[in-house]
């Protein structure tokens, strides 16, 4: 069918993801990158298409004023419960359109989204809106699926037979993402990537096991020596730009010119 995802698709998706302890984070490296590059206290931050809002909640707890915007009511329900559980008065929830946000020009210090840009056939319009609402010198952070990964092959096959959960989705290489950001009025400053952990195939197996009543751990082997050695190796490899062509997701920080 090759359709862009509408509200009903995401409402259906998030209605099945209301148990946060069972939901894998989209890109753990995103939060690590933000916390390592910014003093969050007092910053005005917007997450667009926030999903569970967990990263935004962490930033609000670190002292930022954070707005989360999503057009899915089910997503906002999850974030409402999270805000209540954490008593976060600095986390503000808004239902809205990512392409026409209800904010004035030059409002935010940081605008970010993860797993969002790839769902639209007009990505430059989304980046233009990000640019509009950022202060001069503010930062846009975009995190998306990377092209050269088994995930892409499986996704394309499911899209072809109209079985992909999001209807339609694309992907980008690091140079493609950097080029789009430069064309949108940004100067790219930092890039990072994330290998899917645990692997995509383990996650598929875990979901299949649930259907027969078997619950497998979210993160197998996490407390083992093998896991610790693997993490050190991946951390070293992730410093190399070449590793961006092997990771599931990649992200770029870009400053508004």
> What domain count does the chain have?
1
Instruction: Classify residue 215: in a domain, yes or no.
Output: no
Report the alpha-carbon distance of residue 246 to residue 132 in Å, rounded.
33
Instruction: Classify residue 220: in a domain, yes or no.
Output: no
What sign does the CA torsion over 60, 62, 65, 69 have? negative
Q: pTM (2 decimals)? A: 0.91
Surface-to-core class of residue 224, CB atoms within 10 Å of its CB (0-12 exposed, 13-18 middle, 19+ buried): exposed
Surface-to-core class of residue 36, CB atoms within 10 Å of its CB (0-12 exposed, 13-18 middle, 19+ buried): exposed
190-239 pLDDT, tens per residue?
Answer: 999 999 889 888 998 999 999 999 999 999 988 899 989 999 999 999 99
Is 50 exceeded by the pLDDT of residue 120?
Answer: yes
Instruction: Classify residue 218: in a domain, yes or no.
Output: no
Measured CA to CA in angstroms, residue 57 lies from 64, 67, 209, 249 at distances of: 9, 10, 31, 21
Domain CATH number, residue 116: 3.40.50.150
Instruction: Classify residue 174: in a domain, yes or no.
Output: yes
Is 80 exceeded by the pLDDT of residue 6?
Answer: no
Per the model's pLDDT, the better-predicted residue between 152 and 223 turns out to be 152
Instruction: Classify residue 156: in a domain, yes or no.
Output: no
**Residue 71: which domain range?**
7-146+165-194+250-256
Instruction: Classify residue 236: in a domain, yes or no.
Output: no
Instruction: Classify residue 240: in a domain, yes or no.
Output: no
Locate 255 and state its tokens: 């400053």
27-41 pLDDT, tens per residue?
Answer: 899 999 999 999 999
Does an H or E element contain 99, and which?
none
């Amino acid at each position: 069918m090759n359709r862009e995802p509408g509200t009903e698709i995401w409402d259906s998706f998030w209605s099945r993801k209301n148990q946060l302890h069972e939901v894998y984070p989209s890109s753990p490296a995103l939060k690590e990158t933000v916390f390592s590059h910014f003093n969050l206290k007092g910053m005005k931050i917007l997450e667009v298409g926030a999903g569970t809002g967990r990263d935004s909640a962490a930033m609000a707890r670190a002292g930022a004023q954070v707005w989360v915007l999503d057009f899915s009511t089910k997503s906002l329900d999850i974030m409402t419960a999270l805000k209540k559980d954490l008593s976060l008065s600095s986390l503000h929830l808004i239902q809205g359109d990512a392409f026409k946000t209800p904010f004035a020009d030059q409002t935010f210090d940081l605008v970010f989204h993860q797993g969002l840009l790839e769902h639209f056939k007009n990505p430059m319009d989304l980046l233009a809106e990000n640019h509009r609402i950022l202060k001069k010198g503010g930062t846009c952070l975009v995190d998306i699926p990377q092209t050269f990964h088994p995930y892409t092959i499986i996704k394309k096959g499911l899209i072809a037979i109209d079985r992909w959960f999001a209807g339609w989705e694309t992907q980008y290489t690091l140079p493609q993402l950097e080029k789009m950001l430069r064309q949108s009025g940004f100067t790219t400053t930092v890039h990072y990537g994330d290998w899917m952990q645990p692997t995509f195939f383990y996650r598929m197996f875990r979901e299949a096991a649930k259907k027969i009543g078997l619950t497998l751990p979210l993160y197998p082997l996490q407390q083992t020596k093998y896991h610790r050695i693997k993490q050190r190796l991946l951390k070293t490899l992730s410093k190399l730009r070449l590793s961006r062509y092997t990771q599931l997701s990649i992200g770029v920080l870009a400053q508004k010119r």
